[in-house]
Amino acid sequence: MVCQVYNYPKEATSRLLEAVESNAVQHFGERQRQPPHHFRLYISGPEVKIASIEWATTIQQYCGCRREFAKTMSHLDILEAESIYILREVVAEFSRPAMLYSIGKDSSVMLRLAEKAFFPGKVPFPLLHVDTTYKFREMIEFRDETCRRLGLQLIVHTNVDAIADGASPFRLGPSQCCGLLKTKALLDALKAGRIDAAIGGARREEEKSRAKERVFSLRDAHGQWDPKNQRPEVWNLYNSRLEGHQTIRIFPLSNWTELDIWQYIEREGIPVVPLYFAKERRVLVRGDILIPLEHDIEVLPNERSQLVLCRMRSLGCTYCTGAIRSSADTVPKIIQELRTVRRSERENRIIDHDQEGSMELKKREGYF
């Protein structure tokens, strides 16, 4: 059998090839021991599970076998294999990649995928966290503990000049505050680290402007996004060529949904920030929005804090992220809850609604 193993540590190759050969014989018969039949192998974890096989020759002959093999894969297996393939492409094609780590559920899933993609080696790129200083304390504690436990390199960048000038959504408004503490801080961090490929956890079903994103999303020399100047991605082939000071944003979770994320968290036993789970929290009830009292907040006349059973469906800065009423205090309950909801997980993110097309405008300026 002739086999090519892409982007996988050399020390594990012999063990992998033994597992592949026995698997190929089981599924495709003894004739598969003979060359010239080549195939590509994508390993999805330490358990040496074959994620997908692409036959380079005699495809017609084996198409029936491939369909039979595909039946054994769940939709999570397929999504996992695609994301791992994308992560390995990034490491193979770019010189200074980094993973943007927002500390949310999508970042946690991406981190697990990166662990699997490069097992038994370490994750070969740093995590970059843009800290606005307005994040929930539980998020920062979870970030630091996760990086210590996994031995990850963490880069934290803050726009200290804007913080010193008193930048906040109350003083500047959500859009200008986000522009200084998130967009400018991100662009400065990418430039300081000479990062040519930034991996993020955005998903196409989250928000309409994100639905326009390519997996490999080109940014100009100023870090800005032009949705009309993007590259085709037919047959999962990604163009990684850069000119001048262009950079790329990579989205390995593009085809995942919120429900997929939580089902994968359940299957893999991935730790997430406790804010995602329902409990009684002290909040301000302002219309339909539950505002957590993590930092000092301007209270309107006759407003009083209340204890409400709630959880965070999406995580961001405390001033701009609302909670939802929920009793889902475990991952299975969250999954069950998501099967019935019909509203976006970002509906309580103020930065998405400060003006029409708000997210797309921010992305054009360089926001992730």
Answer for the pair 150, 116: CB distance below 8 angstroms, yes or no.
no
Give yes or no: residues 179 and 85 share one domain: yes
Give yes or no: residues 198 and 301 share one domain: no
Task: State the sign of the Cα–Cα–Cα–Cα dihedral 160, 164, 166, 172.
Answer: negative
CA 282/CA 93 separation, integer angstroms: 48
Give yes or no: residues 223 and 289 share one domain: no
Domain boundary (19, 50, 73) is at 73
Answer for the pair 145, 111: CB distance below 8 angstroms, yes or no.
no
The pLDDT score that the predictor gives to residue 319 is 79
User: What's the Rg (C-alpha) of the chain?
Assistant: 22
Alpha carbon distances (Å) from 27 to 23, 24, 58, 70: 6, 5, 16, 11
pLDDT in tens, 163-220: 999 888 878 877 788 888 888 899 999 999 999 999 999 898 887 777 788 899 888 8
- Among residues 259, 244, 202, the alpha carbon closest in space to that of 86 is found at 202
How many structural domains are present in the chain? 3
Give yes or no: residues 194 and 290 share one domain: no
CA 126/CA 192 separation, integer angstroms: 14
The pLDDT score that the predictor gives to residue 21 is 57
Give yes or no: residues 221 and 145 share one domain: yes
pTM over cut 0.85: no
Give yes or no: residues 297 and 173 share one domain: no
Give yes or no: residues 128 and 115 share one domain: yes
Reported in sequence order, the residue ranges of the chain that DSSP labels E, i.e. its strands, are 2-5, 38-43, 50-55, 97-100, 127-130, 154-157, 197-199, 216-219, 247-250, 279-286, 289-292, 305-311, 324-325
Give yes or no: residues 201 and 236 share one domain: yes
Structure tokens at 319: 């001033």
CATH number at residue 210: 3.40.50.620
The pLDDT score that the predictor gives to residue 294 is 78
**DSSP label at residue 315:** -
CA 196/CA 125 separation, integer angstroms: 12
Mean pLDDT of 142-159: 95
Give yes or no: residues 317 and 234 share one domain: no
The pLDDT score that the predictor gives to residue 174 is 79
Q: Which residues span the domain enclosing 310?
A: 273-354
Give yes or no: residues 60 and 175 share one domain: no
pLDDT in tens, 243-254: 888 899 999 999
Structure tokens at 44: 């999805």
The pLDDT score that the predictor gives to residue 329 is 95
Answer for the pair 103, 173: CB distance below 8 angstroms, yes or no.
no
Tokens 């980094």 correspond to: 98
The pLDDT score that the predictor gives to residue 161 is 92
CA 45/CA 29 separation, integer angstroms: 25
Band of the pLDDT at 362, cuts 50, 70, 90?
Answer: low
- Flag whether 266 is in a domain: no
Band of the pLDDT at 95, cuts 50, 70, 90?
Answer: very high
The pLDDT score that the predictor gives to residue 53 is 42
Please count the other Cβ atoms lying within 10 Å of the Cβ belonging to residue 336.
12
Give yes or no: residues 235 and 278 share one domain: no
Whether pLDDT at 34 is above 70: no
- Flag whether 10 is in a domain: yes
- What is the distance between the terminal CA atoms of the chain, rounded to a whole angstrom? 44
Answer for the pair 258, 203: CB distance below 8 angstroms, yes or no.
yes
Give yes or no: residues 116 and 222 share one domain: yes
The pLDDT score that the predictor gives to residue 42 is 42
Task: Provide the mean pLDDT of the chain.
Answer: 79
The pLDDT score that the predictor gives to residue 154 is 96
The pLDDT score that the predictor gives to residue 44 is 44
pLDDT in tens, 97-113: 999 999 999 999 999 99
Domain boundary (17, 45, 73) is at 73
Domain boundary (48, 73, 98) is at 73
- Flag whether 263 is in a domain: no
